[in-house]
Chain A
Amino acid sequence: MVVAGIVMLVVWTLAGLLAPVIAPVDPLQQDVMRRLEPPSNVHYFGTDELGRDILSRVLYGTRITIPAGLLVIVIGCTLGLFMGAIAGFVGGIWDEVIMRLSELFMAFPTIILALAVTAALGPDLKNAVIALVIVWWPSYARLIRGLVMEVKTREFVEGARSIGASSPYILFRTVLPNCISSAIVLATLDIGNAILSIAGLSFLGLGPDPTSPEWGRMVSIGIDFFDQWWMWLFPGLAIATVVLAFNFIGDGLRDVLDPRMKH
């Protein structure tokens, strides 16, 4: 399954990188004479309500949805890492403040928070990413805090301190490297979720503007042309296969690093 995941991911990555070369036409180019055409030899995935080529749009969409999902994880994870490291390593009042703050965000229903933030900042891909980062960082902060608190009592940390290493040195050179692998597993398992959330927000109209070939947005426009199934099926399948690829990889990674789940 991991192999299947990697293959799917490589195919999608190539599709995204080579989109300008392999896409039949410009994803924004309209051709009103050929609107709502079903899949054919000319337009393999059919055309949409403005006569744009859906295959080209799906290919270009790779460059929007996947990076946005990855960005949520990278920023959310980095922010969580930073906050969790301070909370766990410095402790005291900083720990209290950061933990209470994370509880505050976690107690609030995820979807309302994301909806409220995107609605407040305005519908835009950047704001959708910000909204999801706000939702995402607390779980990483809590994970890292726990790990940091455990690692910092180990002997090699005491050793580093006894030879006069500074606190930042200890944190960045000895403690954090020992926490990072768990965070990476959690992050890998989460990428699929992040992409689904981006597509979901964008589906609800809280993502990039309607002309952009973002997959979730394409599906939601496709609903208005429900009988023209190719309008929503292909971008939908694109999301599904990308998320599946990440989940296959994440699942395999967990099996390797957490043998208890393997049986």
Chain B
Amino acid sequence: MFFVLKTMAFHLYFIRRLLFVIPTLFGITLAAFVIANAIPADPITANLPQSALNNQEIVDAFRERWGLDEPAHTQYLTYLKNLLRGDLGVSIKTKRPVADDIRQFLPATIELATAGIISGILIGVSVGIVAAVWRNSLADYVARVFALVGVSFPVFLLALALLQLFYVEFGLTSGPGRLDVRMAKPVARTGLFTIDALLSGDWDTFRNAVSHLILPGLVLGIYVSGIIARITRSSMLEVLGMDYIRTARGKGLRERAVITRHALSNASIPIVTVIGLSYGSLLSGAVLTESIFAWPGIGRYMFRAATSQDFPAIMGVSILIAFIYVGVNFVVDILYYFLDPRIRNP
């Protein structure tokens, strides 16, 4: 009975969350549309060659083909109607359905963002714990400077420095791209090269894909580790001052158990929140990192869409990013449920 009530509460919660998504997404489409129409940009000059611009017939045909001859509100309503059927329209630049484009570019970004958040957690949480446990020591000071350096270094400088050091000088990792040029792509199942290679038991490809992931993953990891370290430090400090930590120490627990089991698990809520937000920002496309590492992800697609005034693609990506944030927040909320017994049994 208790269980049924609880799952019902969970279902209600789930449905309410889903309902909240609708106005957000509606707002995003409207925002994207208003802004796309307000900026004095002309997709015609951005996408037709100079020779075609002089030919009125071609210009008219282009305008009609992409619905640019309709009034703005008609364009928007048509867009919404298509969106409800899962149709994001056709990209002006690639001439392919935006949904197909996203399906093609998103896996590369998911793979990179995941590598980035894993290294970000490893670096950020450990630096944060060290800083909190040895508060006001040299280690704390170094950790604090590290966190500030992490957010101050331009991503592109970090990327270039790591490439120069680990790829050019020492040859420890692979360079730009997702795989060596000589490598064949693994059979596409998920689009994530590492997973696909594992699924088909192709160890060479797997190793190669991982070695291509290390540097861009590390760049993004360092980038997000600053804020993760900062939050870990401050929430650990708060918890370490609690009575139950003194009790745990008093009953003779080893310091390691006190810190990992008692302190860290109680400090985890803010840490998980900031990790979720960081993952969201990495998933929404790291334009600079992707462009330096020639990574064919959402960031590159977005950059191309924005610079060529490709409105359907711009709107598609904006909606995708809104979805990503809503999804990440949702997962974070579910994690709270598991991490904090007070949320489970109020």
- The interface of chain A, by Cβ under 8 A from chain B, is 1, 103-105, 107-109, 111-113, 115-117, 119-121, 192, 196, 199-200, 203-204, 206, 216, 219-220, 222-223, 226-227, 229, 232-233, 236-237, 239-240, 243-244, 247-248, 251, 261, 263
From 295 to 335 in chain B, residues with beta carbon under 8 angstroms from any chain A beta carbon are 302-303, 305-309, 314, 317-318, 321-322
- Which of A115, A206, A220, A261 is the one whose CB lies under 8 Å from B156? A220
CB of B88 within 8 Å of the partner chain: no
Contact pattern, B 11-43, Cβ under 8 Å of A = 1, otherwise 0: 000000000000010011011101110011100
From 247 to 298 in chain B, residues with beta carbon under 8 angstroms from any chain A beta carbon are 284-285, 287-288, 291-292
Count how many pairs of residues, one from A and one from B, have CB atoms less than 8 Å apart in the complex. Answer: 132
Rounded to whole Å, the gap between the CB of A169 and the closest CB of chain B is 35
- Which of A104, A113, A196, A236 is the one whose CB lies under 8 Å from B30? A104
Rounded to whole Å, the gap between the CB of B315 and the closest CB of chain A is 10
Rounded to whole Å, the gap between the CB of A131 and the closest CB of chain B is 10
What A residues does B27 contact at CB under 8 A? 103-104, 107
Question: Could you tell me the dominant secondary structure of chain B's interface residues?
Answer: helix
Give the size category of B's interface with A: 35 or more
What A residues does B201 contact at CB under 8 A? none
Known: A204-B303, A243-B154. A219 touches B291 (CB 8 A): no
What B residues does A229 contact at CB under 8 A? 160, 164
CB of B72 within 8 Å of the partner chain: no
* Docked-complex contact B318 and A109, CB < 8 angstroms: yes
Most A Cβ at <10 Å: residue of B153, B156, B163, B291: B156
What A residues does B145 contact at CB under 8 A? 1
* A223-B157 Cα distance, complex, nearest whole Å: 10
What B residues does A227 contact at CB under 8 A? 168
- Provide a sorted-by-A list of 28 A–B residue pairs whose CB atoms are within 8 angstroms: A1-B144, A104-B34, A107-B31, A107-B322, A108-B28, A108-B31, A112-B302, A112-B306, A112-B318, A115-B302, A116-B41, A116-B309, A116-B314, A119-B41, A120-B40, A192-B151, A204-B287, A204-B303, A206-B307, A223-B292, A226-B163, A229-B160, A229-B164, A233-B157, A236-B161, A247-B151, A251-B148, A263-B234
